[in-house]
A and B are shown apart, each in its own frame.
Chain A
Amino acid sequence: MQKTSIISKIIIYFVLGILFLVVIYPLFWIVITSFKDNWAVFQDPTGLPLKPTFQNYLKVWTMGDFGLYFTNSIIITSISLLGVLFLAAAAGYGFARYRFRSSDTLFFVFMLSLVIVSSSIMIAQYRWISFLGLLNTIPGIILVYLSWTAFGIIMFRQAFSELPQEIADAAIIDGCSELGIFIRVALPLVRPTIATVAIFTFVWIWNDFIWPLILLQDPSKQTATLGLLSLRGMYLADWAILSAGLVITFMPVLVIYFVLQRHFVQGLTMGALKG
């Protein structure tokens, strides 16, 4: 038994190690490329930078107006995120706690959004938003993001339905309204789910470029991911600058991921708490 164990372990580590390299290498490459001069990239695309430089980051931040875009991204994403969390948690609770005649239909209606691609409804959305007078406004694009609640609703419904009945009963005895149960009792218990939904919603909104492209026309309102597209304009093939832009745009996502990772793992393994 012992021998097979060791060999197995080695094979497993080897496979996982290769996979790790395959996963990380593209990111690693982008980072080292961002510190090179574009000609150095061309001469030696895979080596470590001989003369590391921050000039690419400076260029992207100033010339690319990335400072402004970054701020916009943060504002839009954070506010949308909070909104989605509220809406999805509430709706998830509603579906978990109650059963009513149209609950399955309504749930299905929400699930429809899983197949709706932003690019497909782009034109209709554009017209609709400008009809509502919300074109080129931050609140407008936030409202569009607030409709991205399907994933959250699935997760929250799952999490709430796994809460023990006794907790709800105890709260009712204490004279709590349903809303009260939701806010004071249920929500605090699903912190891992909140973290999970938060990470994914943050990532999806931050990375989205279609809605900022269509709905935000003021240069002062553009977002970071959209700025990347501009950076990749027709006559600009500076791999080094592009990489710096990619790194800047990716950083916040990575940070949020690391911060919330612990909770989020718990969130996906929620059931294990039941023991």
Chain B
Amino acid sequence: MNKVLNPIPPRRSQYGVDPGFVKKRMAEYPEMKAIYLRELFPELPQVIFPGENGLDKVRQAVHKELEKVDMSMIGPEDSVNICASHHGFTLVGGEPYAELLKAIKDVIEEKTGTKNIRLRAGVGLRFRETEEYIKSFGLDEYFAGKAKGVAPVDEGIPIETEIGTLYGLKSIYDADWIVHAHNSDVREVHFHRQVDRAVKPFAMSYARIDTRSTYHHNLGPRGANFTARAIFSSDFVQSKFAFTAILEMSPLGIIGVDADNDLYSLNDRITVSGCQNYGKVMTLLGEIDECIVGLDFPCPVPYVFAGGVIYANFVGANVDLFDLDNPLPPYTWYTEAFYDSKGKPLFKETPPPNPAIKMVVHNYAWAGYPSAFFSEHIPTIVVGEKQANLFREDPQNLSYMKHSVFAESLDAAMAFAYRGTGTDKVIVFDGAAGGINVSKSLYELLKVKAPEVKTRVDEKLFSKWLKQRGINPEELNKKNEKCR
């Protein structure tokens, strides 16, 4: 068995406790081992990051990909907004995404001559999060002071779409041209259901609250991401859109960079790779019969990572989240809204949160995202008084601690979790790259289950998922060959 992989270190942020209060990481326990994703699924693609000279490889990949992208629409005096999102900075430490943004700027400058290139970095529910990343990764200096965090409550502009008026953020669109800098991490598959994944920021981090609320309340669990398509396809956005460049992700890390003037073509490509690569890891996690979950990563509760997927995915792993025949995932905001005040679902076929999760040990995760659903439905122990108070005072988590218990130390929390659940299977969401830190017993279970999962995804589920999204992989391959 392998030694544990290094967890992502705590990050100083106003949304989490000071790193000094994180006294011990879950990966430090002797019973913890690392299971490498490549042991489970040897066919997963090779990564360029993490690895030797990883950042250089990211930069080289950006330059190479952008060679084929048409930038002739951008004049030497034109202004360009490179639009980014906070999620990118949570991937494998954040540096690769920062490098992508820097390299895009350099190539635009080289190819078009313009110096008026700005960074507009959108957020979700933590309005200063990208301001923190901009400082931390030196983006303010790199963009000569033209780097700005934007939030969904900032001033908006109306965008006429084929379904009616929606609202974008004024400062996202205040340039002659916009460049969409994103990533293909599957992430919130419970929300977007891997439909138009590449387009989503147009309805989220580049959008006003009015639009985001449309997504989560007005269009339904499988229609929601049409909000993004409607905005992106609008005449207004099309008149400003230059191109997209993304970090191509797999659960192992960064496998490359993809760029295109045609966002929908790029979207089809990442739909395929997302289903293929992340689909296996998620399906495997759905095979876990019982476990204790450790949250130990610098992000809000649902966004902590293990094996390249987020905790919210694991909460829904008892259901095939890629299968669009399943209307409501066990966790999504539509699902959460449809539990009544007595805790009973209004739609009786609502699947429960993953019953394999017997207890959650919240060692380190941020506030700044409504997370009470998780502690209300899954027994949760929060480590440390500082962290408990952070949640008590967070306007988005007024009830999180009402449903949680509190332990003074990680040791006390783990002892309670082992006793209370009777299981010795533990999975830690700590961002370890290339694998998952798990207990020995869970290591063995995952090894046993992986071959059958691989066969099921390759031979049955993958084609079903693509068919539901109107993608024929053979036709897509032919199209991509032509482009090359």
Real complex partners, A and B? no
